[in-house]
Structure 1
Amino acid sequence: MSIKAIAAKLFASKIYYKTQAWANKPVETQQAVFKSLIKDARDTAFGADHHFDTIKTVHDFIKNVPVRDYEDLKPYIDKVRTGEKDILWKGKPLYFAKTSGTTSGAKYIPLTKESMPYHIEASRNAILHYIHETGKADFVDGKMIFLQGSPILTEKYGIKFGRLSGIAAHFVPKYLQKNRMPSLETNCIEDWDTKVNAIVGETIDQNMTIISGIPSWVQMYFERLQEKSGGKKIGELFKNFNLFIYGGVNYEPYRAKFESMIGRKVDSIELFPASEGFFAYQDSQKSKGMLLLLNSGIFYEFIKADEFFTENPKSYTIGEVETGVNYALIISTNAGLWRYNIGDTVQFTSLFPHRVIVSGRIKHYISAFGEHVIASEVENAMKEATQGTEIVINEFTVAPQITPSTGLPYHEWLVEFENEPEDMDVFAEAIDSAMRKQNIYYDDLITGNVLRKVVVTKVSKNGFQEYMKSQGKLGGQNKIPRLSNNRDIADNLK
């Protein structure tokens, strides 16, 4: 074992015990974060508008500050973008992470000198927890890659603008610089097709030990590697590749395809990062869920998803949550986001420590008939329908068909197959059965002849990639929604 690997194991042990100290005191940790946030933002414009000088308790905070999404917070953000100081947080942010997904186009999420270090530490600590638990550290001597956006930044009013992954690329520790791939020149390529081909050229003969990125785009990278190598397995090209790090979407629908392409199973670490904050990472290979980061400058609130759109829904803090409940995640941060609805829903898989899974998006669901189907349900149904079979899925999404030309309405599953089922009707029946077991409302609609059973529609090879390309969202941190309550994506794919 190299000196670098030995040092990594020692550092991993230190970080593990440091994590346990706050994870074992969740309420006290969050209360300390809350008090610090209110104190530090008391003299900001937002603090003045919401009477932070009178806030003593979380109850006061909830009373003074409404839950907001980006559109609601945008007037404050616009002031910060034009160089005004002390608006949402003290001073000016270091960066604005540019992302997409709102009705007004791009979102600009502030990153401050207080918030930015937590993004970097969380990625590092996820790997260190893996080292501590498994004892595996030799991979630190190999090459590692993160498929990410361009690190090229622009600057205005003393604030730099760019994609979060591109901003984070500027914070790679010096001890990892020699291991990191691709080259800066390749990483700066904007066109995703060109970029992936360049990455393949640079990495195909390297000792890759860690590969990281959103599964759908890593899959594209693997496919290009196989094309260039004449069909070799990824595990044959990269004999020491044994750790895949991912975030953004659930890995399970991709796992069978990945293991087939790699030629063996590899360990994986799930991350829960966003421009708004780094919320959680998988701290154990033995336990389900990701450790919620309670000491990272973020105060969390949780609103039950089925109550979110009611008037004055109850907000729960970390000491009040339960396992198995679908919560909308509300955050207040040291980047100046206050009671901000990030749009994700989570479920707790354990308490003490508090681990979560991402169950979907508060706006991404199907409830055309009151069924309120969420992302985790369709992903679990797909997993159950393909388990123990030769079926391999590249990508899929689900949408309601409210006005079919004949027959009852239905949920349409648009699927790109690598290996198709022998009998599509049997496959559709398996999905439908799994859905009915998970969602009683959906089951009632099928039983009551309001809906007919699932209809599976084949999507042509690379159909999802072509769709994303047509939307200007090929690669990077972009991802296909697992489901939607309209047919915008479904009709484009067809």
Structure 2
Amino acid sequence: MIVAIDPEIAARVAQYRRRTVAERDGLRAALADAVSHQRRALTHVLTENVGTAFGVEHGFAAIRDVDEFRAAVPIRDYDALAPWIHRAADGESHVLTADDPVVFFMSSGSTGDNKKIPITRSFMRHSFFPFYYAAWANFAEHFPRVLERDDTTLNLKHDPVPRLATTASGRPHAGASQVDFGAAFGEHLAAEPGTRAPWSTLSAEVWTEHQWDRSYARLRLAVESDLRCVIGINPAMVAALPYQLAQWLPRIVKDLHDGTLDGRPFGAANRARAAELERLAAYHGTLLPAHVWPNMELIFCWTTGLASLYLPRLRESFGPRVTVLPAPVAASEGPVAVALDRHATAGSLIVPAALYEFVPADEDLRPDSATLLMEELAEGQEYHVVFTHVGGLYRHAVGDVVRVVDRVAGVPRVEYAGRRNLSDVAGERLRESHVVRALRTALDRTGLEVVNATCRPIRGSYEFAVASFTDWGADEVGALTTALDAALSGIADGYRAARAGGRLDAAKLHVVGAERFAEDWHHRVAQGVRPAQVKDRVFQRDDASWERLLSPL
């Protein structure tokens, strides 16, 4: 059956396509003159913010090039920049930027406290919106049916709230997905796919403070539509969806049958859909996204890290012809790279958006670390990312490590390799990427597959909790354990030395139930953590989560 496209939506989609493709093409064109764009990015930062408190203190007026900038401004993480940020959040003008922040993006900090990332109009115009629109160009160009209706995309990261939290000065303090870019910055076209769906903004009588119940409400409404796309950015959110469908099926069916939402009157009863879902679950023995939405085409999320281990099987649960596109390498603090084609994992540096510097990942990141510019990077190597942009983050160590995959027009194309977290109890200096690569190597050698994994140092060795995709025999578990320990020794020099020196025993492996990671994810969401912030953990440092993962079935 051919469904007519709403003319108003068609006009909006055409405009959206023109904007996203134009921004993508503009970033592609910038690659041909990338070094000049990097120089201009620094010049723009210095000239626009020369009169700020930060600019005066660090002598912006006398800085002529990147070497002088490096000498004048130390590398800082969020905590080191916090004194200036807090002054701006309290209402003081011209602290970090010439134009005052409009909002402060919320981002989870290493201590669990929510960061306040200052967001100015100049930053949004010069650094944010070009990469942000470009990130959606593949949707408009290659998956047009995803945009033809407002209810074809389930955007899991979109989580508007009736009232935003504020800073001491009254400016909004919220997650980027909770900010209305049209109202705040005049960019009404910037609404992401799925943000106009019936379930995207819950009405006052439905909305609840509880993240768990909001997740259920959106899923209950989405099962009545013909979804073609799921946006998660954080892949753990996408991985939780099949588990949610299975767990909530009786509740969903009852609500559909009765015309209710969590037992309260809501819309018209849809008994035909309720019966269909029951039949599908009975026939297949479970209810997967592919059964509920057989026309699914696209998943949009990060595709590296631990997700690289489970995404192939996860994609199958959404349908045989589903494509997974990588979300940008970016944080609330600023953008790093965006896919300008359909590469499965990597994106090109966004050369007009910021000045990018890099420190080899094997080195500790210090305020005076020597840095490399983009043209000095080596393919296959990993680096700490340090960026400077007009939004007031100067030589900011965002905490991410990237791997250079290749070059496009001479510009590095990078993928996210993990956070800069180190696990170092016996001189092993393990990074997240070491663990993920070792898991990948060991799984490839044994032919096994996992649903998810995590590890932690316990009693002089590393113990892994691994959820298997299928049942494994004792000999297979032993072979994987041996292969994993060998892979860690082969990838991380510090681990090999610690093992050889007797400071670390061989790795140990705990095989846990396939749903254990989804159960832990839901537990954390039920405790009130925003789903977008509940991410896969390479290094498990939460004792309660570790015990839940290892608890008897």
Match of 1:77 in 2: 85
Matches within 5 A, 1:147-186: 147-148=156-157, 150-152=159-161, 153-156=164-167, 157-167=169-179, 173=189, 180=197, 182-185=199-202
For residues 372-397 of structure 1, the C-alpha deviation after alignment (integer angstroms, 9 at most, x for no partner) is 22222222232333349785533321
Structure showing greater Rg:
2
Matches within 5 A, 1:108-257: 108-117=116-125, 118-129=127-138, 132=141, 135-142=142-149, 143-148=152-157, 150-152=159-161, 153-156=164-167, 157-167=169-179, 173=189, 180=197, 182-185=199-202, 189-213=208-232, 214-227=234-247, 228=249, 229=277, 230=281, 231-247=286-302, 250=305, 251-257=307-313
Which stretch shows the higher mean deviation, 443-452 or 298-307?
443-452
Question: Is the 8 Å Cα contact of residues 212 and 526 (structure 2) preserved in structure 1?
Answer: no
Q: CA deviation at 1:57?
A: 0.8
Matches within 5 A, 1:327-342: 327-342=383-398
Which stretch shows the higher mean deviation, 7-16 or 198-207?
7-16
Q: CA deviation at 1:491?
A: 6.1
Q: 1:33 aligns with which of 41, 48, 60?
A: 41
Question: Is the 8 Å Cα contact of residues 400 and 485 (structure 1) preserved in structure 2?
Answer: no
Q: CA deviation at 1:115?
A: 2.0
Match of 1:457 in 2: 510
Q: Distance in 2 between matches of 1:233 and 1:150?
A: 24
Question: Is the 8 Å Cα contact of residues 149 and 477 (structure 1) preserved in structure 2?
Answer: no
Question: Is the 8 Å Cα contact of residues 196 and 221 (structure 1) preserved in structure 2?
Answer: no
Closer/same/farther in 2, CA of residues 205 and 376 from structure 1, 3 Å limit: same
Match of 1:393 in 2: 450
For structure 2, list consecutive stretches of 5 or more residues without a partner in the other structure.
250-276
Aligned-partner SS, 1:114: helix
Q: CA deviation at 1:434?
A: 2.9
Q: CA deviation at 1:330?
A: 0.8
Q: 1:321 aligns with which of 360, 377, 384?
A: 377
Question: Is the 8 Å Cα contact of residues 42 and 389 (structure 2) preserved in structure 1?
Answer: no
Question: Is the 8 Å Cα contact of residues 396 and 413 (structure 1) preserved in structure 2?
Answer: yes
Q: Distance in 1 between matches of 2:198 and 2:496?
A: 48
Q: Distance in 1 between matches of 2:377 and 2:294?
A: 44
Q: Distance in 1 between matches of 2:334 and 2:367?
A: 27
Q: 1:411 aligns with which of 445, 448, 462?
A: 462
Match of 1:66 in 2: 74
Closer/same/farther in 2, CA of residues 190 and 434 from structure 1, 3 Å limit: farther
TM-score when scaled to structure 2? 0.78
Q: Distance in 1 between matches of 2:195 and 2:116?
A: 32
Aligned-partner SS, 1:34: helix
Question: Is the 8 Å Cα contact of residues 422 and 432 (structure 2) preserved in structure 1?
Answer: yes
- Which letter maps to 1:99? S
Closer/same/farther in 2, CA of residues 474 and 310 from structure 1, 3 Å limit: closer
Question: Is the 8 Å Cα contact of residues 338 and 347 (structure 2) preserved in structure 1?
Answer: yes
Aligned-partner SS, 2:451: strand
Identical amino acids, percent of aligned pairs: 20
Alignment of 1:86 onto 2:94? yes
For residues 144-183 of structure 1, the C-alpha deviation after alignment (integer angstroms, 9 at most, x for no partner) is 1221263232345352111122126766638857854633
Question: Is the 8 Å Cα contact of residues 304 and 417 (structure 2) preserved in structure 1?
Answer: no
Closer/same/farther in 2, CA of residues 315 and 480 from structure 1, 3 Å limit: same
Closer/same/farther in 2, CA of residues 138 and 105 from structure 1, 3 Å limit: closer
TM-score when scaled to structure 1? 0.87
Question: How many pairs are equivalent?
Answer: 484
Closer/same/farther in 2, CA of residues 8 and 311 from structure 1, 3 Å limit: closer
Closer/same/farther in 2, CA of residues 276 and 189 from structure 1, 3 Å limit: farther
Question: Is the 8 Å Cα contact of residues 280 and 291 (structure 1) preserved in structure 2?
Answer: yes
For residues 225-255 of structure 1, the C-alpha deviation after alignment (integer angstroms, 9 at most, x for no partner) is 2442432331232222111111396331221
Question: Is the 8 Å Cα contact of residues 326 and 344 (structure 2) preserved in structure 1?
Answer: no
- Which letter maps to 1:430? A
Q: CA deviation at 1:110?
A: 0.7
Aligned-partner SS, 2:433: helix
Q: Distance in 2 between matches of 1:321 and 1:490?
A: 38
For residues 159-215 of structure 1, the C-alpha deviation after alignment (integer angstroms, 9 at most, x for no partner) is 211112212676663885785463311796442221221111111121212211111
- Which letter maps to 1:436? S
Q: Distance in 2 between matches of 1:427 and 1:349?
A: 28
Match of 1:303 in 2: 359
Match of 1:294 in 2: 351
- Which letter maps to 1:196? S
Match of 1:23 in 2: 31
Q: Distance in 1 between matches of 2:42 and 2:302?
A: 27
Matches within 5 A, 1:257-272: 257-271=313-327, 272=329
Aligned-partner SS, 2:411: coil
Closer/same/farther in 2, CA of residues 287 and 98 from structure 1, 3 Å limit: closer
Closer/same/farther in 2, CA of residues 475 and 380 from structure 1, 3 Å limit: same
For residues 409-468 of structure 1, the C-alpha deviation after alignment (integer angstroms, 9 at most, x for no partner) is 321112234434223212212322333332233234434544332211244524532663
- Which letter maps to 2:295? N
- Which letter maps to 1:51? G
Q: CA deviation at 1:346?
A: 1.1
Question: Is the 8 Å Cα contact of residues 451 and 469 (structure 2) preserved in structure 1?
Answer: yes
- Which letter maps to 1:370? G
Q: 2:473 aligns with which of 407, 411, 422?
A: 422
For structure 1, list consecutive stretches of 5 or more residues without a partner in the other structure.
none
For residues 87-128 of structure 1, the C-alpha deviation after alignment (integer angstroms, 9 at most, x for no partner) is 100131010112222448321111111223544443431231
Which stretch shows the higher mean deviation, 258-267 or 158-167?
258-267
Closer/same/farther in 2, CA of residues 307 and 382 from structure 1, 3 Å limit: closer
Which stretch shows the higher mean deviation, 197-206 or 139-148?
139-148
